[in-house]
Structure 1
Amino acid sequence: MSSLPIFDVAGSALSAQSVRLNTIASNLANADTVGRTPDGAYKPIEPTFESAPLRGQEGMSGVKVLRVDPLDKPAIKRYEPGHPMADAEGYIYAPDVDPVAQMVNLISASRGYQANVEVLNSARELALATLTIGR
């Protein structure tokens, strides 16, 4: 815990955005995978955040990752009888991952991460400037 709570708030937000970036990367990396069954297909994941009080800081809150859950989206059934993963009827099952929506989320998460890095840098500069007052 920092003596300046802004570092704790921005740090918790950085950590949350990092989890968000990792889940988006996982979804994009598995967008083209297929399974032999609907249950065997990759399930896209998404983090859930919540406000969390900072320890030792009355009335101050940061961000906490509550959980990372698979989305309740059924797999997409495609008829490809020549595919090595096809079932007996010739179907494969692909995850319902929209790469465009994932890229929009990726840009949003990246901007959120960058904004919190800027908050940390500004707070550090202000703290250092405060230490030089009166010199």
Structure 2
Amino acid sequence: MGAFDMLRIANSSLGMHQTWLDALAHNIANANTVRATSENAFQAQMVVASSLPSGGVDVTRIEEGDAAGILTYSPDHPLADADGMVRMPAMDMSVQMTSLVQAQRGFQASVQVTKTAQDTYGAALSIGQR
């Protein structure tokens, strides 16, 4: 595998991890989004990735969570229905935070691979200059 292959694969990983980080940030920012019971709940985004035959990874699709959400009793909320219920996202914050750490680590690893590939390519170019 050459330096350019390493760069291509690391670049695909950076793109996938950035998409994953963006989706997680969107989910976490909307963890407390309240909706009326007549509306769909906020739906968490889940990134689905797959490996490429030539190496690397690509985002296959982004799936959305449960639109039904969780009905919560909150009679003082302005969006509450006659029974005092509102619709909250069906999302586990601990899962979101764990995924955030995983996505950050993957992004950091991809950056390190990119740096190593650049160093390798630079070293190869400097051989011809001596």
Partner residue of 1:94 out of 74, 84, 88: 88
Output the TM-score relative to the length of structure 1: 0.87
Whole-Å Cα distance in 1 between the matches of residues 38 and 10 of structure 2?
40
Indicate if the aligned counterparts of 2:41 and 2:67 stay in contact, CA closer than 8 A: no
Displacement of 1:10 after TM fit? 0.5
Which residue identity is paired with 1:13?
A: S
Looking at secondary structure, tell me which structure has more helix per residue.
2
Partner residue of 1:80 out of 64, 74, 77: 74
Indicate if the aligned counterparts of 1:13 and 1:63 stay in contact, CA closer than 8 A: yes
Output the TM-score relative to the length of structure 2: 0.90
- Corresponding position: 1:117 with 2:111: yes
Q: How many residues align?
A: 128
Indicate if the aligned counterparts of 1:32 and 1:94 stay in contact, CA closer than 8 A: yes
Residue of structure 2 equivalent to 1:40: 40
Which residue identity is paired with 1:9?
A: I
List gaps (5 residues or longer) in structure 2. Answer: none
RMSD (Å), alpha carbons: 1.8
Whole-Å Cα distance in 2 between the matches of residues 91 and 83 of structure 1?
9
Give every structure 1 segment of 4 or more consecutive aligned residues whose post-TM-superposition deviation is greater than 3 Å. Answer: none
Whole-Å Cα distance in 2 between the matches of residues 78 and 115 of structure 1?
40
Displacement of 1:73 after TM fit? 6.7
What SS is found at the alignment partner of 2:33? coil
